[in-house]
Structure 1
């Protein structure tokens, strides 16, 4: 049986972004920008301008105020930008796009629009896309055909012209999109996109969800430390994906109806439990989900740590609305991401030197992220443990996480045998 080999070499954290601005002087300044021309508005409530050279990839949508059928002003303006396109002079490209490059591109665009640093806090983030590109050496169509669910939301093909492009049929405030980017742009070799490129991304047009990423204004997108949350979210959302390896040994799980029947089953957790059981059963073969997850962890945190540890980041605390506000240079050469060495969860709030998720942090997770708590419960609790009190569950989860590390000398060989093909290159993700 062939083993799927995956190389992750492209991180494209930030894609299309939209800011909302209701500051009158800045609106007037944007309206008078000489490099924009009138274009078709999104609907009759807007007046829109696009860049005369770059088109709608750099667009201004003014929300009109009407009186007796006439425009008397603008309530706000929506600034639509594409940082990655900007970096490549508005040409499509599948190249690397790091957090530091995203920050530079956003600053460049805002400067070009004559928006001052002291005005960045006026720019509310109302549309956000972030994700990663992964290059596979084997058949990318196998993954796309086996992509069934995100949580209990089925992946659908929104456009029949692109059968290898799927998105989750989920709530409006969050959308998970997975597509074979290399296939989609196969007829455009100038884009330099590897034919086996897979893109995994999270999109939102709702402030409610964007705030869960700790993103409020343009200032947050210029803070490299904020990109850690994007990394956490991408890994968490991939953890919720059900992808079936259709070239593995034939089994009942290959049938999508098997999973749809589990969703309608009266037992609440039967779908999630069977998904975990399926993945665990694939460990001896090619578990696509696990391979992608490990590569995401490796590449995302490699780039984030490089961005944080090798740069002197200019930070203006709060960018108070004052043109004379001075900036401070902070050398974060020794900064690092403080995460549980087993789960990868952020444990920065714990005592310095902590290696594992502790009870206090897990209590916060239970309150603020019930989905993540359920994932941890499913992974680290036995059936008996799941029947215990909440405090007992929290204790057992943390203990079992620590045991993964403390028992490694006894189970390392069996772990490698379960997880790795004998000829497969292995990676160590700890430093």
Structure 2
């Protein structure tokens, strides 16, 4: 659920970062004068700094001594490549562990200066249709934005936060990724920390202690604060008066006009009328989307089982129950497959994708070649299953080379 963050690293020894082989720091220097750059492209003054990037995070060591990093923790988890897949609580903890291991940065040191909390979902209708029909957030109009890194999206800016809605599929397809599902992202970007500080959230550790699940109500509330025109509304049986009202309601300029003329009560009345007509005559896309957001947040905040030796041993203990089966290559439970299955197959992979993303991603990282990392889901499933079969086959070939058919195998005689 966490995406972009901006952090000030408190009590950090700059030499540890400067000597880190993963960070290649550079200064921004005027090649003509040899002076350090002190203004940005808009002519505003900036403090000189050393900059370095790693997996989508940008580290800065300022001449004043302040040290920061900024970027997407979600992208960091994907080696800086993208943030369109699921990023659950286990993945967040993995990133924090990795920052500690590689850069000696503790979560308590990371003072929050900007934070994006959001969710990727598969919407009930096409994402672009939803974006086109999000007119207002509270009383402010949505505006389309275009950014080379974030693609095309809609946003509303408030004094302390920004509401954003993205078409993630379109964004990453334009970058050459192969995605065969609709992915919509809805997020709150906290640009000032007052609302978070009031909850006792000052650093990354506070954020984890608070629990990301507790942002569920914030996201659902802000989603409901959107004035949405549902284009699935059926009009054939409606009265002429209602049809004419809907025609006006479908025009964002109508709502902007009410607000511009300070007709607040009139605005509230017609907003309620729109919601009533929508509830009675449409697929209720806004409500269905809220349900999907809610369920996805629940799913991402379940602590999942990690694939490690302890996990495998625990599953082997469960194996004493004859109803359980274990893949002889990966060590994961494959009871959801056919009774004679011995390897994790398409069925099991899809099961873990739907029920335990952490296990699926760990299997994917181990058994999917980078050649197929940007392919669609079906191809990835096929290649992972193929590589698991190859692993098993290679083991059998190796075993046969060690023990020829005519050679006496003591282990076989002992039933091992």
After TM superposition, the score normalised by the length of structure 2 is 0.60
Q: Any conservation in 2 of the 1:58–1:82 contact (CA below 8 Å)?
A: yes
- Following the alignment from structure 2 to structure 1, what is the Cα–Cα distance between the partners of residues 126 and 117? 25
| SS at structure 1 position matched to 2:258 | helix
Distance 1:263 1:273 in 2: 12
> 1:189 offset after TM fit, Å?
5.2
Against the structure 1 CA distance between its residues 61 and 272, is the aligned structure 2 distance closer, same or farther, given a 3 Å change threshold?
farther
Structure 1 residue 302, shift from structure 2 partner: 3.8
SS in 2 for 1:95: coil
Residue of structure 1 equivalent to 2:13: 26
When residues 147 and 85 of structure 1 are mapped into structure 2, their CA distance, relative to the original with a 3 A threshold, is same
Q: Name the CA distance, whole Å, in 2 between partners of 1:32 and 1:98.
A: 32
2:218 alignment counterpart: 233
Q: 1:22 to 1:300 in 2, by over 3 A?
A: closer
**How far 1:110 sits from its partner (Å)?**
3.0
Give the C-alpha shift of residue 160 in structure 1: 8.5
- Find 1:87's aligned residue among 77, 80, 84: 77
Q: Give the corresponding residue for 1:291.
A: 288
Deviation at 1:227, TM superposition (A): 0.8
Q: How does 1:79-118 map to 2 (within 5 A)?
A: 79-115=69-105, 117=106
Q: CA RMSD in A?
A: 2.8
Shift of 1:122: 2.9
Distance in 2 separating the partners of 1:200 and 1:93: 13
Which structure's residues are more often strand, by fraction? Answer: 1
Are 2:60 and 1:48 equivalent residues in the alignment?
Answer: no
Q: What do the CA deviations read for 1:102-135 (whole angstroms, capped 9, x no partner)?
A: 12212212321123x4xx4332111111111121
TM-score, length basis structure 1: 0.58
Match of residue 366 from structure 2: none
Which shows bigger deviation, 288-297 or 154-163?
154-163
* Matched position secondary structure for 1:157: strand
Residues 129 and 179 of structure 1, relative CA distance in 2, 3 Å threshold: same
Q: How many residue pairs end up in the alignment?
A: 278
Offset at 1:208?
Answer: 2.1
Alignment of 1:340-351 (within 5 A): none
Once the two structures are superposed, the pairs formed by residues 387-398 of structure 1 within 5 Å of their partners are none
Alpha-carbon offset, residue 292 of structure 1 = 0.8
Q: Aligned pair 1:201/2:203, yes or no?
A: no
| Residue pair 1:136, 1:197 contacting (<8 A) in 2 also | yes
2:251 aligns with: 255
What is the deviation of 1:98? 0.7
Task: Quote the offset at 1:280 in angstroms.
Answer: 2.2
Distance verdict in 2 for CA 1:20–1:102, change over 3 Å: same
Distance 1:211 1:274, change over 3 A: farther
Matched, 1:124 2:123: no
Note the alpha carbon deviations across 1:204-243, whole angstroms, 9 max, x for none: 23222432454211212333x5212321211111111112
Cα displacement (A) at 1:20: 0.7
The 3-state SS of whatever aligns with 2:142 is strand
Alpha carbons 2:119, 2:296 under 8 Å: kept: no
Change (3 A) 1:258 1:276: same
User: What residue number does 1:368 align with?
Assistant: none
Does the CA-based 8 Å contact 2:119-2:185 persist in structure 1?
A: yes
Q: Distance in 2 between matches of 1:214 and 1:226?
A: 12
- C-alpha contact 1:142 1:247 (8 A) present in aligned 2: no
1:94–1:193: 8 Å Cα contact kept in structure 2? no
